[in-house]
Amino acid sequence: MAPGRFWRCCLRGAGWVPVLFITFVVAWSYYAYVVELCVFTLSGNGENGKAVVYLVAFHLFFVMFVWSYWMTIFTSPASPSKEFYLSNSEREHYEKEFSQERQQEILRRTAKDLPIYTTSGSRTIRYCERCQLIKPDRAHHCSACDICILKMDHHCPWVNNCVGFSNYKFFLLFLLYSLLYCLFVATTVLQYFIKFWTLCRRKSTQSCPKNELTDTRAKFHVLFLFFVSTMFFISVLSLFSYHCWLVGKNRTTIVKIGDKSLAMKRNTGYFQYFQVLAQINPFLSNHLVNQKTDCWIVNLNGQRMDLKKVLSDQVYKNMD
């Protein structure tokens, strides 16, 4: 095997390490909650009714969380459709040209009929040398995936996938469901956490009553479960709030309004920006967050002038 290929395989394998870490933490939290808390602690204390209610609610949160995580990982990132690629003759022509201006001429000719409204900061047509295509608005090349991704937000190591047009709704839901999962676990574990915690403190000063919950293993799992769920809740909350803010402000992690990369190429003095309309449906359906991209014409002072319907299906047609 060539060293370059071997290195790429190693990098690809290493990309799954954060996913395996999350899977391990989730599997452990399942064991700790179901076995140690509900079966040993609650049933052991004769609280069978409470254990059943906790188990049913826990599985609801767990299934939604795992489903959204799975969908974020395994939804392939969407690439630009074939009309954004240069034809063979155009590509040959482009490669033979050494002058950047002539190359831009070729790109401009090809991009004439494409629904493209933004240019690079230097007002040139955005072209990916690696994929040999004209980049649609908000598409970026991901060096980890080695392809251009439509409406790329970022490459997320925790899902080992690019977050973009095809899976942004799953990513948002993954953040939301992990928040709910952590919140549910932390609040239901809290009273047992306090009980065990005070028991631990009492144990250090006097002998522990025998009929109390004294199983050291269950205690360790419940205490640790509270710490881990609270820690994840706080970190995911900041990430989820940040992404809600991005959606509300019509931004992605990569492209921000006012960036030179959004400078309008056809009307000097104006550029356009995009509004992501995210509609969150609390029920488990195929389209929990509908993504729709509208486009406003904005003057350079940032004042919105006119709404122009350049919907994502026009930009991203032939996606499915």
Q: Please, which residue, 64 or 150, has the CB nearer to Zn ion?
A: 150
Measured from the CB atom, the residue of 102 and 130 that comes closer to Zn ion is 130
Please, what is the minimum distance in Å from the beta carbon of residue 106 to Zn ion?
A: 18
Task: Using DSSP, state whether 200 is helix, strand or coil.
Answer: helix
Q: Please, what is the end-to-end C-alpha distance for the chain in angstroms?
A: 36
**CB-nearer residue toward Zn ion: 22 or 128:** 128
In order, the DSSP letters of 297-317 are EEETTS-EEEEE---HHHHTT
Q: Which is nearer to Zn ion, 148 or 236 (CB)?
A: 148
Buried b (16+ CB within 10 A) or exposed e, 287-320: ebbebebbbbbbeeeeeeeeeeebebeebbeeee
* Contacts of residue 270, Cβ cutoff 8 Å, sequence gap at least 6: 264, 297, 298, 299, 300, 305
* The two three-digit tokens of residue 272, written as one number: 């356009």
Residues between 91 and 130 with contacts to Zn ion, criterion CB under 5 A: 128, 130
DSSP-assigned letters across all residues of 119-188:
--TTS---EETTTTEEPPTT-EEETTTTEEETT--EEETTTTEEESTTTHHHHHHHHHHHHHHHHHHHHH
Choose, from 148, 156, 182, 295, the residue flagged as catalytic: 156
| Number of amino acids touching Zn ion (CB under 5 A) | 10
CB of 148: closest distance to Zn ion in angstroms? 3
Helical H segments across the chain, by residue range: 3-14, 17-31, 43-44, 48-74, 88-96, 100-111, 168-205, 216-248, 312-315
The least distance separating Zn ion from the CB of residue 230, rounded to whole angstroms, comes to 31
Helix, strand or coil, per DSSP, at residue 296 = strand
Please report how close the Cβ of residue 141 comes to Zn ion at its closest, in angstroms: 3
Q: For residue 133, which amino acid is it? A: L
The nearer residue to Zn ion, 144 or 246, going by C-beta atoms, is: 144
- Of 59 and 130, the one with the shorter C-beta distance to Zn ion is 130
Amino acid at position 148, single letter: C
* Residue 156 annotated among the catalytic residues of the structure: yes
At its nearest, how many Å lie between Zn ion and the CB of residue 103?
A: 16
User: How near is the Cβ of 84 to Zn ion at its closest, in Å?
Assistant: 10
Considering only residues 128 to 187 of the shown chain, the ones binding Zn ion according to CB under 5 A are 128, 130-131, 141-142, 144-145, 148, 155, 162
Residue ranges binding Zn ion (CB under 5 A): 128, 130-131, 141-142, 144-145, 148, 155, 162
Active site (catalytic) residues = 156
